[in-house]
Structure 1
């Protein structure tokens, strides 16, 4: 099999992202009461899919941030990834509402709008100095019951609680409503950490490449897993930093209340 031309794939995905973005911007989602009814508890349909293999594979999400799109909240995106040997290798994420493009090829750096190299703080981003100084992205998700919901809510409480109450007292939380855009915010360096459980490989593949090329890392969303597969469904993303990545991962893990069972 011929070696894929990664630059050609990258450029093609950008073209596709722009075309998909035009469709999204020209769409008129039904924002009547029926379209929003039970959107927080509704589960995405689970279409039959082939398992991810080591073959070169496009892993895409035409709209990541569907609920945002329905509500006209300007944080939905096109997420287009390409993996080889299950390793994210090319990533393109485009938010058509803000006309912001993130893109990367493994080994060639990550860029915002094709000209600004990520992270925004430059080649020696500031060190990570603990969760009390960190802006942390989280998501509630659509699954609002069961053991995983309990792990999430208890962990959110511990992360946010005052240190006198045994909490980490993170500086603040953010929820963009899109896994891809959360990861890109970490790649930019405007968010320090993103913890997620329950999303899918098409939500994270493209952003994974962008974050990695910006000096960031993704590890398991459960404590102790320094290696995580792109289809592992539990992720902890940390921005690039001069130092402190490993320390903040271990600190975050210490506040997780239980174990997420997504992907098991």
Structure 2
């Protein structure tokens, strides 16, 4: 990694993210196709944004590999140790087509199969998150405006960390995903019920609150910013999490497996749990959540 100028990569990704954001805001998503099923959708804008991002990155970093959602080939596309851009042109496409303002472009760089740079930009809110390994992470509002003309400061994430309590005090992000049958779906449904149930019945978590932003990248960034305590997901892909993972880690957060007992998880594992940075209580909250899953285990193929 010593040969890669991570800060320069970050700055390039921010420029590309703003260009992608302008394309997203200008789009009228009327041409909608489906992939796996009716809730797994793609638009012409997803594809156009990925083409632009790929072209810009190929020009700037021709020796780096590229993995994008819209050009991914199941069973063929892999992430190797080579520096690899891992890109989701629109994370939260369902939100995008409904004009629900939680959608973003997620641009990550992985080196040695580990997140090294992350840029996540929500153009609807002009909200930018960025992170560089060993360089910290930040959040910036009104990010595309000129300095001195409304642009917000880059707020360093992970400072003044608060301790974590148990699930009763936790705000937790979850997502249904696009797979709505089979054992993976049943594990999610059972766990959601247990999280919400009262403790008096013996197996409930009485969680403080459940939220679904509809975007893995924005869920991770909300954890990084301390707005969420924990995020549990199965079924998303590396491009959904690569950028947000870097931002979370640099804010003192931690990514583990979404399946019980896995304190380490691969970038392309498809099963994740993120916990925000905290002065104490990270492992305790993760273990309490894993108990809600019980003997369940999610398993997704590539």
- For the superposition of Structure 1 and Structure 2, which TM-score range results when normalised by the shorter chain? over 0.9
Alpha carbons 2:41, 2:93 under 8 Å: kept: no
RMSD (Å), alpha carbons: 2.1
Equivalences for 1:151-166 in 2 at 5 Å? 151-165=187-201, 166=203
1:129 alignment counterpart: 165
Give the 3 Å change call, closer, same or farther, for CA 131–31 of structure 1 in structure 2.
farther
- Deviation at residue 263 of structure 1 after TM alignment: 4.8
Q: What is the CA–CA distance in structure 1 between the aligned matches of 2:107 and 2:71, rounded to whole Å? A: 19
> Of the candidates 81, 101, 108, which is equivalent to residue 128 of structure 2?
101
2:261 alignment counterpart: 224
Q: What is the CA–CA distance in structure 2 between the aligned matches of 1:15 and 1:45, rounded to whole Å? A: 21
- Deviation at residue 101 of structure 1 after TM alignment: 0.2
Q: What is the CA–CA distance in structure 2 between the aligned matches of 1:47 and 1:252, rounded to whole Å? A: 32
1:261 alignment counterpart: 299
TM-score (norm 2): 0.81
Q: Matched residue of 1:235: which SS?
A: strand
Alpha carbons 2:119, 2:128 under 8 Å: kept: yes
1:146 alignment counterpart: 182
- Cα deviation 1:181-207 (Å, max 9, x = unaligned): 000000000100000000000000000
Q: What is the CA–CA distance in structure 1 between the aligned matches of 2:70 and 2:107, rounded to whole Å? A: 20
Q: Matched residue of 2:105: which SS?
A: strand
Aligned residues: 258
Moved more, 106-115 or 57-66: 106-115
TM-score (norm 1): 0.92
> Of the candidates 129, 137, 140, which is equivalent to residue 110 of structure 1?
137
1:23 alignment counterpart: 23
Alpha carbons 1:159, 1:168 under 8 Å: kept: yes
Q: Matched residue of 2:192: which SS?
A: helix
Q: What 5-or-longer segments of structure 2 have no aligned partner?
A: 43-68, 141-152
- Deviation at residue 39 of structure 1 after TM alignment: 3.6
Give the 3 Å change call, closer, same or farther, for CA 228–173 of structure 1 in structure 2.
same
Q: What 5-or-longer segments of structure 1 have no aligned partner?
A: none
Q: What is the CA–CA distance in structure 2 between the aligned matches of 1:189 and 1:42, rounded to whole Å? A: 30
Q: What is the CA–CA distance in structure 2 between the aligned matches of 1:111 and 1:47, rounded to whole Å? A: 29
2:3 alignment counterpart: 3
1:81 alignment counterpart: 108
- Cα deviation 1:16-58 (Å, max 9, x = unaligned): 00000000000011299x99xx743669988424211011100
- Is 1:179 aligned to residue 178 of structure 2? no
Structure having greater relative contact order (Cα 8 Å, sep ≥ 6): 1
